[in-house]
Amino acid sequence: MAMDIVDYEIFGNEMQYVEVELDPGEAAIGEAGVMMYMQDGIAMDTLFGDGSQQQSGLFGKLMGAGKRLLTGESLFTTVYHNESSGKRRVAFAAPYPGKIVPVDLSQLGGTLICQKDSFLAAAKGVSLGIAFQKKLGVGLFGGEGFIMQKLEGDGMAFIHAGGTLLEKTLAPGETLRVDTGCVVAFQPSVDFDIQYAGKIKTALFGGEGLFFATLRGPGRIWLQSLPLSRLADRIVMASRMAGGGGKESGSLLGGIGLGSLLGDDE
Amino acid sequence: MSPGEAPLPARFYPAGGDAHGHPARLAWDGGMLLVQPEDSPALRVPASQLRIEPRGFNHSQWAIAWAGEEGATHTHLLIVDDARIAPLRAAAPALFAAGDTTRRHSHRRFRVGIVLLAAIPLAFVGALLLSVEPLAERLVDHIPPGVEQQIGEAVLAHTRAAGPMITEGPAFDALQAIGKRLARPGEVLHFHLAARPELNAFAAPGGIVVVHSALMAGAGSAEEVAGVLAHEIAHVELRHSLRQIVKSAGLRIILTGLSGDYAPLGGWAAQLGELKFSRDAERAADARGLERLKEARIDPMGMLRFFETLAVNTPSGPALLSTHPATAERIDSLKAAIAAAPGAPAQSIGIDWEPVKNDLNGPPGK
């Protein structure tokens, strides 16, 4: 099935959205709940599964939906179909601070392995599968869990990552040690493994955990500077509920919450 | 390139080249691997120089490497997707043998690991379940009489809630009289009569024995009821019901702890009336009960008769039988025990049983 070619534009700096231009008859799929706006003439349809192909029968559909459930995506994807006679635009917004990465799967050999939850939108025809991490240690300690997402096809896909994004091409044999949780996506030719931090002292007090994730080339990798879970941890730690806001409670400004803006920036 | 062979897409990383690599196409050409990069001249590499190994995420790719011309430090590298490798593998299976083994091993390791990971929590749960019994045994020895009394009261409250109790009349008086006869000096036992149609009696912690009216109505004499009471008192004495309660509560605590929902814990006391004892416990209670009967100078044949009545005359399976398994075996061992040590001559309890029966078989509530 030929992929729909999509023109796109990404807006914003730290909280981005991507606007996709659909030619007449073209379609894009979006993760449920990320659509920001769409122009007249775009019809929205909700599919059970990923809509990559006419999955054979109920069983195929259930399989597709089951995969999405495992990767932490919602069961349904939404297809945005341009039914007008002119070009129309639809926009998808990232759900948390970070960057949207446009990925042209045809440039990557057709397959990309990415962190679950990172999928945002794609040209219709890109298939969303799961890639089960088959290295036990990596699944347990690699920071990405056992279930990763596999995007297949040769169209554009948009994935989303937290913080600032690093895109890097690793030469054959080149290895990068990465904090667990910072890996967003990589080509399947990249070896994803873990490495023991080496010293108990470092592991316990270095703040980086027991293991690093290691990525060995060749292939392209994408790293995020701020995994959502880390951001969430910090927010919870700083919240008044968790007792993090205790420092300001004596200040004059504490009562109106300005104290937390001015003070404690940990 | 040999005709008819579809060229394979691959990515070519020449020795000393950049990190990005180049798209290339591969084919076998008479013992040589023909590498046709899109933007540079074709190469021919003898099969003997190639090293092929699985690579990448889940070994989903193959790395084909050979030494570069400028020296051994640099190698040329090809990356081919596993889904596309079939023609190369078919042409030179020997080159792939080691790699295939590696892949198989890593996948097997993963499967074994996953099974182990799943087995650890199961083993943990299993160990907990196994340890419930010994823990309960230990705990029972440390439960103070006051707590035992409270648990017994809870069970009794449940019995009261389930149906009317008989607190006066000839049957009640007869039960108390038999109980008094059985009790040792200084022993505090409470006998309760519940108006229930099932042929049953049970013991609760704190010296509480509950007898169903149907049991008394079905018995032929006071001695038969005395046999049942002696057996139930023995359960109390041996703290069987307390033991059982602690065990079932222990299991419940673990189960609720696992599910994270503590609400069902409140309901556990409600089911204590339906406790089942093990055969060993029943046997021990039989033996103790028999001793007590002898001490009280009550004819042990009454106990035997009642068991036989239960076993023979009630094919529908009364409650007492279902909670007291293997009656035939117990009757035999009881007979043997009576024969072995006849004890002192029995004295009749001296209760005329007909009025008792009539009282119970009359209109309910009387």
pLDDT digits (tens, 9 = 90+) for A37-65: 999 999 998 877 666 655 567 777 777 77
For chain A, domains (ranges, CATH) are 7-229 (3.60.160.10)
Alpha-helical (H) ranges within chain B are 86-91, 93-141, 145-162, 170-182, 213-218, 222-237, 240-259, 279-295, 301-313, 319-323, 327-340, 353-361
ipTM over 0.85: no
Q: Which whole number is the average pLDDT over B2-8?
A: 56
DSSP string, B19-64: SS-EEEEEEEETTEEEEEETTS--EEEEGGG-EEEEESGGG-EEEE
Of B243 and B288, the structure prediction assigns the larger pLDDT to B288
Query: Class of B8-104 per CATH?
Result: mainly beta
Measured distance CA(A145)–CA(A133) in Å, rounded: 8
Side-chain half-sphere CA neighbours of B115 within 13 A: 6
Of A189, A190, A194, A215, which to mutate for an interface test with B (greatest number of B Cβ within 10 Å)? A189
Measured distance CA(A97)–CA(A196) in Å, rounded: 30
pLDDT at residue A18, rounded to an integer? 94
Q: Cβ separation of A190 and B57 shorter than 8 Å?
A: yes
Question: Per-domain residue ranges for chain B?
Answer: 8-104, 144-361
The stretches in chain A having pLDDT less than 50 are 1-2, 246, 248-266
Q: Cβ separation of B61 and A188 shorter than 8 Å?
A: yes
Q: Which of A134, A172, A191 sits opposite B110 (nearest CB)?
A: A134
pLDDT at residue B239, rounded to an integer? 81
Alpha-helical (H) ranges within chain A are 57-70, 136-141, 200-205, 228-238, 258-262
pLDDT at residue B265, rounded to an integer? 42
CB-defined contacts A:B, below 8 A: 63
pLDDT at residue B247, rounded to an integer? 72
pLDDT at residue A188, rounded to an integer? 92
pLDDT at residue A127, rounded to an integer? 84
**Residue A76 phi, psi dihedral angles, 5° rounding:** -110, 145
Helix, strand, coil distribution of chain A in percent, nearest 5: 20, 40, 40
Mean pLDDT rounded to a whole number for chain B: 79
pLDDT digits (tens, 9 = 90+) for B33-79: 899 998 888 888 888 888 999 998 888 899 999 887 765 567 888 99
pTM: 0.64
Scored b (16 or more CB within 10 A) or e, A139-165 reads bebbbbebbbbbbbbbbbbbbbbbbeb
Q: Cβ separation of A218 and B61 shorter than 8 Å?
A: no
Residue with tokens 């996506």: A185
Of B329 and A187, the structure prediction assigns the larger pLDDT to A187
Q: Tell me the β-bridge partners of A185.
A: A114, A222
Measured distance CA(A243)–CA(A249) in Å, rounded: 10
Q: Looking at chain B, which residue has its C-alpha nearest residue A185? A: B57
**Residue B122 phi, psi dihedral angles, 5° rounding:** -65, -45
pLDDT at residue A246, rounded to an integer? 47
pLDDT digits (tens, 9 = 90+) for B131-181: 777 777 777 777 777 777 877 787 788 788 878 888 888 888 888 888 888
Dihedral of CA A133/A136/A137/A143: which sign?
positive
**Residue B183 phi, psi dihedral angles, 5° rounding:** -70, 140
State which H helix or E strand residue B201 sits in: strand B201-204
DSSP string, B297-350: T--THHHHHHHHHHHHH-TT--HHHHHS--HHHHHHHHHHHHHH---SPP----
